[in-house]
């Protein structure tokens, strides 16, 4: 398998060369940049229901996984995390691997999602950041000036070794079940960096885009390269797909997203396009941005719970498979209401070129794990086609 540890140690987010275009064979077909022993290349995951649906094929059963399935609602997660800080748990390879595997064992979902956090690339680069319980990511010092950005530390390939090791441990246990890698999209990372903590309206980064465009662009590019390297490490180490997660893009209008954010998201994905793995783009509150999010160059668009999938497919012109979009609030509703909702989501998603069932956001921490297992059983019981 190709390993990012073989890349030059001196490469940093401030000096990453532009990724090359995917290699092509003599017929002009794109050739994956993954090694022959990668799960996507050696027969383990290429025919899995998830990858088939991501590629617009006919899966053997309806694929389903849940964002934030690794953690929070599972008692086994709370047990292994006891007394360990969030970011520390992400950087202990054996622990991160165990947490990633827990929902696959319990729920029979069709993919594992790598257990980590979107600010891990910042932490590994040396940016002072921590997850404060009840608050979220908090930086030691907000990043708000050109001088602040110029002083940002560099993310090295060596620093990503705990991520690669956790992925290797995980895929060794998953067998034919794919692992999905993920990273925070540049806008979401940059929004945390500018505000220094979570924000409801993200006025700081939105102001910077217009008031100091050059500084904003430099910060967005730094975040894009950090996220891109984070994704690359996961995919090269064995993840079979990757999702770029834009938590806060819904605070933007279409014009601002297209001008100030989409180029950075595309730059992040440029780090991994040549690998040939399916790429997914998801954001919350982004119903009006779906076409622009697709156009950064992804294979699948995730849709949150606010927009019916058939309408999302119409807006996208039936051009890509969709992922979503069970309303997380209904996981605590009576079963007959939840079942009807899940069946409705599947019916609406059936008009798209492919559909992977998921939530329209993450699993709420108070969710009864037995309900998730029952939802998976229901989805798998509904015939494909």
- Binding-site sequence positions: 68-72, 117, 192, 247, 361
The half-sphere exposure of 375 on its side-chain side, counting CA atoms within 13 A, is 35
Helix (H, G, I), strand (E, B) or coil at 378: helix
- The first and second tokens of residue 44, run together, are 């383990």
Spatial contact of 332 and 366, defined as CB atoms under 8 Å apart: yes
- Phi and psi (nearest 5°) for 307? -125, 125
Helix 262-270 / helix 213-237 crossing angle, nearest 10 deg: 30
Active site amino acids: 68, 72, 81, 117, 192
Using alpha carbons, select from 74, 81, 79, 61 the residue that is nearest to residue 103. 74
| Percent of residues in the chain assigned helix, strand, coil, to nearest 5 | 45, 10, 45
* Dihedral sign (CA 228, 289, 299, 303): positive
Positive or negative: CA dihedral 129, 280, 61, 331: positive
In this structure, the chain runs to a length of 385
Q: How many CA atoms lie within 13 A of 330 on its CB side?
A: 21
Q: Can you spell out the DSSP letters for 75-110?
A: HHHHHHHTT--HHHHHT-HHHHHHHHHHHHHHH--S
Q: Residue 221's closest CA among 167, 149, 290?
A: 149
Q: Report how far residue 20's alpha carbon sits from residue 324's, in angstroms, rounded to the nearest whole number.
A: 32
Residues of each annotated binding site for substrate: 68-72, 117, 192, 247, 361
- CB count within 10 Å of CB 145 equals 13
DSSP 2-46: --GGGS-TT--TTTPPPPPPPPB-TT--B---S-TTSTTTTTSST
């Amino acid at each position: 398998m190709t390993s990012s540890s073989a890349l030059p140690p001196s490469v940093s987010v401030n000096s990453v060369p532009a990724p090359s275009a995917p290699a092509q064979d003599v017929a002009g077909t794109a050739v994956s940049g993954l090694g022959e022993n990668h799960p996507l290349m050696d027969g383990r995951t290429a025919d899995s229901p998830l990858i088939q649906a991501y590629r617009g094929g006919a899966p053997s059963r309806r694929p389903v996984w849940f964002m934030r399935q690794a953690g929070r609602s599972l008692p086994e997660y709370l047990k292994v995390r006891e007394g360990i800080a969030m970011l520390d748990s992400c950087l202990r390879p054996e622990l991160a691997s165990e947490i990633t595997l827990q929902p696959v064992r319990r729920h029979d979902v069709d993919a594992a999602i790598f257990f980590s956090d979107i600010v891990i690339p910042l932490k590994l680069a040396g940016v002072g950041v921590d997850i404060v319980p009840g608050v979220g990511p908090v930086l030691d010092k907000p990043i708000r000036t050109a001088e602040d950005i110029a002083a940002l530390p560099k993310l090295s390939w060596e620093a990503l070794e705990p991520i690669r090791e956790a992925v290797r441990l995980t895929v060794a246990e998953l067998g034919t079940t794919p692992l999905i890698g993920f990273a925070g999209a540049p806008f979401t990372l940059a929004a945390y960096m500018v505000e220094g903590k979570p924000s409801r309206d993200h006025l700081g980064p939105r102001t910077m885009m217009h008031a100091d465009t050059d500084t904003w662009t430099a910060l967005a590019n730094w975040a894009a390269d950090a996220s891109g390297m984070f994704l690359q490490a996961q995919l090269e180490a064995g993840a079979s797909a990757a999702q770029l997660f834009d938590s806060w893009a819904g605070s933007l209008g279409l014009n601002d997203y297209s001008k100030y954010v989409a180029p950075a998201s595309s730059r992040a994905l440029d780090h991994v396009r040549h690998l040939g793995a399916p790429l997914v783009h998801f954001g919350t509150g982004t119903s009006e941005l779906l076409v622009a999010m697709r156009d950064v160059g992804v294979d699948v668009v995730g849709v949150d719970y606010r927009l019916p999938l058939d309408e999302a497919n119409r807006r996208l012109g039936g051009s890509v498979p969709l992922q979503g979009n069970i309303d997380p609030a209904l996981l605590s509703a009576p079963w007959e209401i939840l079942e009807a909702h899940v069946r409705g989501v599947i019916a609406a998603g059936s008009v798209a070129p492919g559909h992977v069932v998921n939530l329209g956001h993450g699993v709420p921490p108070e969710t009864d794990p037995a309900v998730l297992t029952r939802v998976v059983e229901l989805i798998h019981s509904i015939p494909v086609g």
